[in-house]
Structure 1
């Protein structure tokens, strides 16, 4: 008996297949965006690709189609994967977030019994960026505003994002008056929104400062940026 466990999400570092990008930016005046799927292993895989939302549910329709959506990838081979957009009514004043899924399904050995084959899945962020947006992510991160807030006795850092871009912090820390706190795994900051991040061991002070780096369009890090932390009203 051969068993197959489907749709097991894994970090790309655990998967046999690899993508040549860790995120995709789809500019709305383009017809498509693409990435390359590579198979550096010695095994042949069937590959399935699709786009969905953060909820990771197949029942939610999305205005994107992956092409090819199903293909075979032999040892050492690669395949260009194209994401095509369908007509849509997505916002034009901010980015919209989707996810590209690439699932690898190893070929089964007909002569092997009691073998468990696991289909690993890699997910990367797909940002749909309206062409009406001006400026760039790396230039507009200086517009982020930071403030210290006391929420029923819990200190928190409020970060206001007035930009149309999703902001993913690679590093975010608060310093001042001999205090230091590094926020670990800070949630992604949505466009035109304010996010509260808990601060542990930080007390209000007049010289608090935030220092941060964010992930750019290519998966790299921006240069560190420093910004004052004001006291929330």
Structure 2
């Protein structure tokens, strides 16, 4: 799950973003698995703010500049716009629109939950300040999972391979994912002899590879990779692999 503070127009409203603001509309899960053959899945959202908010939802391909009118997705959320009182819950229905999706691997989309608090009116504020409000966009991964894939999702992380190679006068850790599943790595540590280096993780697409920059390691020298991967429930799991 990722969250972004946004500045811009919320369809007629002026937004102001502050780095200190925390999302007040939360979801029951940090990711959604959509099994093939299902017409819809549900997701509960809650307003933990002490004030009411308006919420807009849409599903897209993860583009940073995506908006509801330009989103690209095989799924749609209902309702797309609704209000939430303080401590109120609401169930979102995530519907499959019937568009063709690859059947030999997972596909990923992003559910956007965009919250808009009410405009405060304070006599001590200037008219410009009174028009400024804060908005937060939370993005949650939605994985479409075909049926009859050749292994279980929980096995995918154990199939990853790791190797070092030189690239453009730099060094990279190459991670190969031969499985039909997305694997999200939340962090890695590479050990080579007495050396250890920690690097940020990333999400690796099915049947693909990912290269992450590293330094102070030796290409061709074996070692060990310790990493955390995120399961279907959003929990971090520990794993290790040989550095090839």
TM-score (norm. length: structure 2): 0.84
Alignment of 1:135-214 (within 5 A): 135-184=151-200, 186-214=201-229
Q: CA deviation at 1:37?
A: 0.8
Q: CA deviation at 1:106?
A: 1.8
Listed as ranges, the gaps of 5+ residues in structure 1 are none
Q: Distance in 2 between matches of 1:32 and 1:10?
A: 35
Q: Name the count of aligned residue pairs.
A: 225
Q: CA deviation at 1:205?
A: 4.9
The answer as to 2:133 corresponding to 1:117 is yes
Deviations 1:186-212 (A, max 9, x none): 231111001111111111353311111
Q: Is the partner of 1:168 in helix, strand or coil?
A: strand
- The 8 Å contact of residues 6 and 120 in structure 1, kept in 2 or not, is answered as no
Listed as ranges, the gaps of 5+ residues in structure 2 are 1-11
RMSD: 2.4
Q: Distance in 1 between matches of 2:14 and 2:175?
A: 41
Q: Distance in 2 between matches of 1:7 and 1:98?
A: 27
Q: CA deviation at 1:149?
A: 0.8
Q: CA deviation at 1:105?
A: 1.6
Partner of 1:4: 13
Deviations 1:34-89 (A, max 9, x none): 21110122211111111111114242431111011111111111001110001111
- The 8 Å contact of residues 37 and 80 in structure 1, kept in 2 or not, is answered as yes
Q: Is the partner of 2:133 in helix, strand or coil?
A: strand
Q: CA deviation at 1:107?
A: 2.5
- The 8 Å contact of residues 59 and 72 in structure 2, kept in 1 or not, is answered as no
Of 19, 22, 34, 1:26 maps to 34
TM-score (norm. length: structure 1): 0.87
Q: Is the partner of 1:204 in helix, strand or coil?
A: coil
Of 22, 42, 54, 2:62 maps to 54
- The 8 Å contact of residues 174 and 181 in structure 1, kept in 2 or not, is answered as yes
